[in-house]
Amino acid sequence: MIIIMEPSATKEQIDTVVKALRNKGFRIVLNQGDVMTVIAAIGDKRLVEPHSFQSYEGVRSVKLIQEPYKLASRECKQEDTVIEFSNGVRIGGLEKPVLIVGPCCVENDIDGLLRVADAAKEMGCHFLRGGAFKPRTSPYDFQGLEEKALEYLAIAREKTGLLIVTELMDTLDLDLVCQYADVIQIGARNMQNFKLLKAVGKCNKPVILKRGPAATIREFLLAAEHIMYHGNDKVILCERGIKGVDNTATRNTLDITAIPVIKKYSHLPVIVDPSHGTGRRYLIEPMAKAGLIVGAHGIMMEVHHDPENASSDGAQSLPIPMFKEVAKHLNKLIGRIDYDNKHSKEGVSIV
Amino acid sequence: MIIIMEPSATKEQIDTVVKALRNKGFRIVLNQGDVMTVIAAIGDKRLVEPHSFQSYEGVRSVKLIQEPYKLASRECKQEDTVIEFSNGVRIGGLEKPVLIVGPCCVENDIDGLLRVADAAKEMGCHFLRGGAFKPRTSPYDFQGLEEKALEYLAIAREKTGLLIVTELMDTLDLDLVCQYADVIQIGARNMQNFKLLKAVGKCNKPVILKRGPAATIREFLLAAEHIMYHGNDKVILCERGIKGVDNTATRNTLDITAIPVIKKYSHLPVIVDPSHGTGRRYLIEPMAKAGLIVGAHGIMMEVHHDPENASSDGAQSLPIPMFKEVAKHLNKLIGRIDYDNKHSKEGVSIV
Amino acid sequence: MIIIMEPSATKEQIDTVVKALRNKGFRIVLNQGDVMTVIAAIGDKRLVEPHSFQSYEGVRSVKLIQEPYKLASRECKQEDTVIEFSNGVRIGGLEKPVLIVGPCCVENDIDGLLRVADAAKEMGCHFLRGGAFKPRTSPYDFQGLEEKALEYLAIAREKTGLLIVTELMDTLDLDLVCQYADVIQIGARNMQNFKLLKAVGKCNKPVILKRGPAATIREFLLAAEHIMYHGNDKVILCERGIKGVDNTATRNTLDITAIPVIKKYSHLPVIVDPSHGTGRRYLIEPMAKAGLIVGAHGIMMEVHHDPENASSDGAQSLPIPMFKEVAKHLNKLIGRIDYDNKHSKEGVSIV
Amino acid sequence: MIIIMEPSATKEQIDTVVKALRNKGFRIVLNQGDVMTVIAAIGDKRLVEPHSFQSYEGVRSVKLIQEPYKLASRECKQEDTVIEFSNGVRIGGLEKPVLIVGPCCVENDIDGLLRVADAAKEMGCHFLRGGAFKPRTSPYDFQGLEEKALEYLAIAREKTGLLIVTELMDTLDLDLVCQYADVIQIGARNMQNFKLLKAVGKCNKPVILKRGPAATIREFLLAAEHIMYHGNDKVILCERGIKGVDNTATRNTLDITAIPVIKKYSHLPVIVDPSHGTGRRYLIEPMAKAGLIVGAHGIMMEVHHDPENASSDGAQSLPIPMFKEVAKHLNKLIGRIDYDNKHSKEGVSIV
């Protein structure tokens, strides 16, 4: 921790800060410049709330040196985390990227869901996604079928062998969702719902944690840290678009750079959701490819048997025939990517 | 709803959209320009998910005409909502603004809390705030005293008569928090925790709903709509800073303009939190004044008996002597504001 | 300057950085933590491009300690800069705030301009603003009357005694604009047009420098530094709205907090433009008041004799009768503000 | 143009707007909903400043239907613009992407520049970039060698046959820059320097126009429209990063999605600058690949013979050996991309 004092800070003010830091177990290095004094405090940030030092008279600013997450960091664990599922599918590290597809929302029409699941299986995908509980900006929009949706997903799993990804919105529903899901999704708007993070931290299902639309990489990794801190280290990070400067041409700004950045700072697997990330069907394929070429461990895409009548997100869902085309192209690209002779952190090559 | 077709849209594509809209009960007005066709669909948006129309072939974009919130809107209710408490305090409309003060977090030292409460009472405040459950970006930071904190707040209420504001983070804690709180706070990071909004919608306590750091006014009012839709119309909106372009000089960008904007579009009371909104102690007084002069119905400020040792947010808390100075200045300004002969929507005057 | 090394940095890498810093005249303090090494380099940042150190192998990040502007900083000059005009009007410090009003664009109808100028004079304003050269997002919009507009402004000055503020867009027009203007305005989109900043830095007219819509306070003050560095210290900073999270309810997000922040870090006068800052006529009055109550040295507002037919910015211009009402309220507020017994940095009080 | 009236708008107010629109040559379609009235005005927006209608009493908002740029739009020109240079190199459409490399700034050491140029030639690049006039946030940073830099670039061209790209910052330098440059670059901070856009619009050199860090796609294409409107249709758009939510992990947020979006709305070539877009050397390769896979027509990268001593941007420059590795990988990817049997708008495939 670096504490920068105001140019006008008095010797007494500086001494007060130094004394308080020493009392809290920090080793101090004092750097007196011509204009201002800088205090370097070396020790474990967990001992204190660093920003509390901004409260002292004469302090201009406090800068952290070390990233405040630990379990999620590369420093803590050099090798990539690879999550393995009962059927042998693996996510992370140098494993072949996975495709996670399905409708935004599970709807009353189970046949539609099964048609999507069949197409997903046919195209070599390993995961079926679908919402049972839906976070909706408006209370007048469809809120999800809840348990019935979970049952439908289980039927689709039975028929196809696909693993199930579904969102948990409330700690009250944790047991129910755990009964059905293979992977629990935490939505972008719940990225800092800390009670929910704690709850999934205490169960042992893999978790897909979506990045909040205004979250920095640090806040994102700290949210993962909450889950890991409570005991669950099977966290998959998902970039799904942030608030950028243009919300007309696209729904969000998909931050593709976040993939290699996260791979540098964390050992956790990271995937991309180009459906939410762009909100436009025509952008799903190019942005999925962009995710793969920078080293994403998976792509999550919305696919619907009848997008024009979808209860949500139709505009960013692929109809089944278009999905097959897109999946074919993505599989071709995956086939060309060389994952064998490279450290995951350094991205991927094309053979 | 206005649907703008691509310049390249065919007659069949236009007809398909028109037919689908008619089937869903909309009256259609078709505007054929030289370059593109625009379809105006008149009727109740609740009948459909409007963005589903973006899924149709040949559609360029869909624009909503009417704001998607209803119960929270001025159109639905012209007169201001005024929330009255058991002790006669009132928030909203042309009522005198209230001051809501207290520590970020209730801590083990109950004497400190009581000193803050006494000072608040002395300065004519009506509400004491304090966190029992704390959302913290890092799992290593203090998470709150939970029920013990609620008990401390109740003791402070007993001693001073101040009403209690405290945050609810999880539906599981609703009953507990309701036992103690006079006003339930929903934090910024939970603004779109829809299960939580629904839960407080079903209780009858007044709710302070904080604006999410990246939420538009529309998203903010839609979050209020969730609460109202489930039966609770005692919602107080709180502007507390958004993500702006500079996060060095201040913690957030306090959007003071949101106050008159919200008063134009909604009848709900709206308050300002300059502590979170700026993250800097020296900015609390000027920004509280800015909030009052544009017509805020209250100011929420963090006050701590010993900010240098606060378990959170010390840098944006006022120490007690400084709080008294600030409150004196704010009370003077409130005394000068003329709330008598103006419609609330039009802001306030100085006498 | 603080240089943070990667946890994986080798001793050789650290030594290389230290040696390079010493060669450039820095005094070094080395802080070796358990996880990573931090190098504090004490000396004059102007000797080097600090971010060049990010190029060295093993460097994680480089943090500046001191703000990179000097002439614009409070550290360099404690007392407020007050700019005095030939007719005795003064801007800055503890002077009474000024009102700067006029149309966005000077148009062909000189009578309209004169009506605005007369109203401005009647309401006690001291400055008339009006664009001769107009930066327009679209080439199809009106680009300004150029010299003819400057002549019209000169006529209005002659008739009313108001001082003239007008925008300079290109170094080529500097001499022409200097012939007519009392104050040169640099628009938000030219805040980092460094050639233009240098050009106005070499003339001796006061300059109103508008904040770029995505500029941090640091970038804003560095733009002022460019002007001062080239010899002109009569710089007035103008907050006019930044890109925020909502561009539907308002055109920009007016960053009122920037006023007290700038007054803390700089001695330069700072004013507010609520017309551009909000883009909505109904928000001009409340946001002008908010600017005044936090200590702005002036308010710039668009006023038009016939906004419905204005060639630009009609929606954020006040028609003359409404302007008179607004000015009356602002003058009343200014009359209540106590500028006498306070240091400017600390904001204003209400008597 | 769609004009939405307030729910409280009177019949007179509606009639006034309708009459004004008709007077300006618009055909009117009136849609009276239950809550509010919507006026569709069909005709040429160039006849009016559309936002002037927001000035009328009773108007809630004005929405544009058609994008306000014309010459830059796909609607105006279906086929891709391909720019051909004297030596046969072509940019745009289905042409093989080009690599544009060189130092941020041309420095005193011409040998260093020539080493970069030789490496560029060796790796099959066609363009050498280098700044002669440098926009620098701080006046204390190196501002460029001006004409001497242009001479050095000409020497490098003579030796290698590479085409020269260099930035123009001021209309005053146009003739000088045109004497030396093959392509004129307009920097991000000058994207809305309309006088400069007009000036390059009147010369016949190809122009690389960089996207402003807070510019929407619409504003970006309108800036291109300024250049085209004044007669120069050889405009190459360059995505170089926008202000996102995280400015710690990266310098900017590179908006890779902008490439396919621009290719949908415009026929102009579009390239990517991953050096400025990320500000980190380790991100240049993955983000260049991401740009190529979504269909960019070129990549601009900073390469320096000695980044640790670069006068600017060392941290985002590739040293020569690393550049050769990166270029080898990019050339391999380019070799795998199938540009033959696809319409450019639809992105690229991998063979």
pLDDT digits (tens, 9 = 90+) for A103-151: 999 999 999 999 999 999 999 999 999 999 988 888 888 889 999 999 9
**Residue C247: which H helix or E strand, with range?**
none
Distances from the Cα of D279 to the Cαs of A66, A258, C248, D240, D274, in angstroms?
20, 13, 31, 10, 8
Please state the rounded mean pLDDT for residues D279-304. Answer: 96
Q: Which strands sit side by side in the sheet containing B59-63, from one edge to the other?
A: B27-32, B37-42, B2-5, B59-63
Residue tagged 């700004």 (tokens): A253
Of D137, D213, D281, the CB nearest to C222: D137
Could you tell me the pLDDT band of residue C314, with boundaries at 50, 70 and 90?
Answer: confident
Which pLDDT tens digit goes with each residue over A311-329?
877 788 999 999 999 999 9
Chain D environment of A331 (Cβ under 8 Å): none
pLDDT in tens, C205-252: 999 999 999 999 999 999 999 999 999 999 999 999 999 888 888 999
* Domain B83-350 bears CATH identifier 3.20.20.70: yes
Q: Which residue on chain D is closest to C213 by alpha carbon?
A: D214
B138 and A169 within 8 Å at the Cβ level: the answer is no
Mean pLDDT of D320-327: 97
Are the beta carbons of C90 and C83 closer than 8 angstroms? yes
pLDDT digits (tens, 9 = 90+) for D265-278: 999 999 999 999 99
What percent of chain A has a predicted confidence (pLDDT) above 90? 70
Query: What pLDDT does residue C56 have?
Result: 86
Q: Is D252 helix (H, G, I), strand (E, B) or coil?
A: coil
pLDDT single digits (tens) B38-69 = 888 877 665 566 677 888 888 888 887 778 89
Question: Cα–Cα distance between C246 and A249 in angstroms, integer?
Answer: 15
- Determine whether A202 is exposed, middle or buried from the number of CB atoms within 10 Å of its CB (0-12, 13-18, 19+): exposed
Residue B347 has a pLDDT of 63
Confidence check: pLDDT of C343 > 60: no
Looking at the predicted structure, is the pLDDT value of residue A296 above 80?
yes
What average pLDDT does the structure give for chain A? 91
What is the reported pTM? 0.93
Model confidence at B342, in pLDDT bands (50, 70, 90)?
Answer: low
d(CA D67, CA D75): 10
Closest CB to A139: pick one of B20, B49, B229.
B229
**D221, D222, D247, D293: best to mutate for the A interface, most A CBs within 10 A:** D293
Indicate the pLDDT class of residue D193, thresholds 50, 70 and 90.
very high
- On whether the CB atoms of residues C253 and B257 are closer than 8 A, the answer is yes
| Mean pLDDT on B88-116 | 95
D66 touches C at CB < 8 Å? no
Q: Give percent of chain B with pLDDT exceeding 90.
A: 69
> Do A253 and D242 count as a contact with CB atoms less than 8 A apart?
yes
> Nearest residue on chain A to B186, judged by CA atoms?
A193
Query: Which pLDDT does position C175 carry in this prediction?
Result: 96
**Chain C partners of A214 at a C-beta cutoff of 8 Å?**
245
Residue D126 has pLDDT above 90, yes or no: yes
Query: Which residues in chain A have their CB less than 8 angstroms from residue B214's CB?
Result: 212-214, 243
Confidence band for D151, pLDDT divided at 50, 70 and 90: very high
Give which of C39, C34, C83 is closest to C298, Cα–Cα: C83
| Chain B: partners with 3+ C-beta pairs within 8 Å | A, C, D
Residue B115: both structure tokens together: 């000193």
At C346, the pLDDT band (50, 70, 90 cuts) reads low
Sign of the Cα pseudo-torsion (D156, D161, D167, D171, in order): positive
Distance CA A314, CA A142 (A): 13
Which residues in B lie closer than 8 A to residue C63 (C-beta atoms)? none
* Interior/surface letters A89-98, b for 16+ CB within 10 angstroms, e for the rest: bbbbbbbbbb
Instruction: Say whether B245 and C242 touch across the interface (CB within 8 A).
Output: yes
Give me the residue spans of the domains in chain D. 2-63, 83-350
Give the strand pairing for B37-42 and B2-5: antiparallel
The mean pLDDT of A260-269, rounded to a whole number, is: 96
Q: Which residues pair with D319 in a beta bridge?
A: D304
Residue C287: its chain B contacts at CB < 8 A? 256-257, 260, 294
Residue A346, pLDDT > 70, answer no
Q: How far is D50 from chain C (nearest CA, A)?
A: 9
Q: Say yes or no for a CB contact (<8 Å) between C33 and A245.
A: no
- Quick check: helix, strand or coil at residue D318? strand
CA distance A125 to chain C (A): 37
Q: What's the rounded mean pLDDT across residues C154-173?
A: 97
Confidence at residue B317, expressed as pLDDT on a 0 to 100 scale: 92
Alpha carbons A339 and A90: distance in angstroms, whole number = 14
Average pLDDT value over all residues in chain D: 91
Of A249, A253, A289, the CB nearest to D244: A253
Q: Which residue in chain A has the smallest CA separation from C9?
A: A75
User: So what's the pLDDT on residue A42?
Assistant: 79
Q: Is B340 a residue whose pLDDT tops 60?
A: no
How do residues A189-216 score in pLDDT, each as one tens digit? 999 999 999 999 999 999 999 999 999 9
Would you tell me which residues 209-248 of chain A have a C-beta closer than 8 angstroms to some C-beta of chain C? 214, 243, 245, 247
CA angle A296, D268, D74 (to 5 degrees): 100
Token pair recorded at residue D120 = 């560029």
Closest residue of chain D to C317, computed from CA coordinates = D55
Judge whether residue D51 has pLDDT over 60.
yes
pLDDT at B169 (0 to 100): 95
pLDDT the model gives residue A166: 98
B139's tokens: 């799992």
C-alpha dist (Å) from residue B23 to B9, B14, B19, B47, C275: 21, 14, 6, 11, 45
> Tell me, what's the pLDDT at A347?
64
Distance CA C299, CA D206 (A): 43
Cα separation, C317 vs C319, whole angstroms: 6
Instruction: Confirm or reject CATH 3.30.70.2740 for domain A2-63, answering yes or no.
Output: no
The bridge status of strand B2-5 relative to strand B59-63 is antiparallel
Q: Does B28 touch chain D (CB under 8 A)?
A: no
